[in-house]
Amino acid sequence: MKKLLLAAFCFFTLVLQAQESKTYINWQLKDPATDKVYGTGITKAYELLKGKTAKTIIVAVIDGGTDVNHEDLKANIWTNPGEIPGNGIDDDHNGYVDDVHGWNFIGGKNGSIQNESSELARLYHKLTLKYGDKDSSQIAGADKTEFREYKKIRAKFSTDQMQLLGQLMGLAEFNSLIEKIKKTNDGKLSRRAVKKFKTTDDREKQLKKYLKLLVMLAGSKELEKELSDGTKQLSNTAKFNSLNTDSIRRVVVGDDPYDTSDHNYGNNDVIGPDALHGTHVAGIIAAIRNNNVGIDGVADHVQIMVVRAVPDGDERDKDVANAIRYAVDNHASIINMSFGKYYSPNKEAVDAAIQYAADHDVLMIHAAGNESKDKDQENSYPTNELNSGKVMPNWIEVGASGRKHGRKGKKLIGSFSNYGKKHLDLFAPGVDIYSTVPDNKYIKESGTSMAAPVTTGVAAMIREYFPDLKATEVKDILMKSVTTYKKKVSVPGDPKKRATLSDLSVSGGIVNAYNAVKMLLKK
């Protein structure tokens, strides 16, 4: 989303390049060889495992909340065996009262946080309080390095806010044009109505060309929904970035968000104000298999521990660190992290938590991000690269792949997916993944947020049936068993540029459960 002229169009490019006209339920479970679909081969993997006993394991989903009462999930939600529900007592003495299904680190006595600012905005507001409009001549020597960083942050914040406002203006123009077209067509949007609409305004003529394409690709209902959701999301982002949300945090949660030594805060509301994203993620991993309801999750013997730490906006390092520690202390074997950001002011606290997980043999699986960026050039956080320079081996970084390779490999990798020859481990199905959302509903979503739980599900299946494997050994087998693709594919963000999967990832392939199980059974 660069210039105003293309703001709305570029916004929808993410959506449209990740959509097909038809919903393919459970395609991520299919096999590349027999089904001609670039799924995980999990269904065939289970055939190989018939007669083998599985051990139930706990998978922690650190996200924005999960609907623990969903019809296709509730039987697979973790229940803390040491806690008596609703008695207001910390029965298991872990520091968290009534943490029956997990914990909410972005809640407190005054409710739960839904919207947050970006980390960049928080840094900007915090440093502005300290430096304001001072120039370098007024800065003490000890603060000069921080002041130089503040000037960079201030400039970046200003640029980002201007881009947000530009995008909102672009979306407003689309909305205005759509309303005009609907008035000529009994209140309905259609491709034919767009084509018939006459205007003398040059700007509307430009937008009409894009709109005709968008309606053709996405459909009128889907397009209007995405316009509405996009406008709401961008409006909230611009609004909360303009605020110093530290004060909101202190009112709602009641803690100091920068005191990373504080672990005992929050509440037990693991659903939160908006559980769509977390429920979708949890369903991909653990929706009840073979129950003829909704979808089938990837893993068949898991319990989902819900850890709420991700608002609409950037998560805070303190909450991420504590969420990881909570998952480890309550015996999670795998942690799914479908979130990320580009600034991490308290990274040392997250680093320590990642090391803590490694020390306890916990596998961590992280979504690479949806900005079509080369992570070798600009990495995001959290990351397995610690400030000390140590690279943690219990970590899998996941990009998103599609159902089919398309002409000349154009569809194999999600056009939105981040990538990296050194910093992205493998790809996994993440385009048009149909899964659970609150109130017993199901929708399809696209993103590396979907690819990570697909990988988590495969890793969970391996830890269930091969419980003696260490976290690092599970990663090793997944890296060695990927589905490869010999031809070049389109590089995300630059469809004219071509590269191999080995140019875009460490493993050079897409996660494959069937191949992994075959390799393990031969050992």
Q: What is the pTM of this model?
A: 0.93
Q: pLDDT tens digits, residue range 135-161? A: 889 999 999 999 999 999 999 999 999
- Return the pLDDT at 481: 98
What value, to the nearest 5°, has the Cα angle with vertex 19 and ends 17 and 20?
Answer: 120
- Return the pLDDT at 22: 75
- Return the pLDDT at 20: 58
Q: Which amino acid is at 78?
A: W
Non-local CB neighbours of 89 within 8 Å, separated by 6+ positions: 97, 98
Regions of the chain where pLDDT drops below 70: 1-21
- Return the pLDDT at 21: 59
Ranges of CATH 3.40.50.200 domains, the chain: 4-117+243-522
Q: pLDDT tens digits, residue range 250-297? A: 999 999 999 999 999 999 999 999 999 999 999 999 999 999 999 999
- Return the pLDDT at 130: 93
What value, to the nearest 5°, has the Cα angle with vertex 248 and ends 242 and 253?
Answer: 145
114 contacts 272 by C-beta, under 8 angstroms: yes
- What is the CATH superfamily name and number for domain 4-117+243-522? Peptidase S8/S53 domain (3.40.50.200)
320 contacts 350 by C-beta, under 8 angstroms: yes
What is the spatial distance between Cα 143 and Cα 126, in angstroms, rounded to a whole number?
14
User: Cα Rg for the chain, rounded, in angstroms?
Assistant: 23
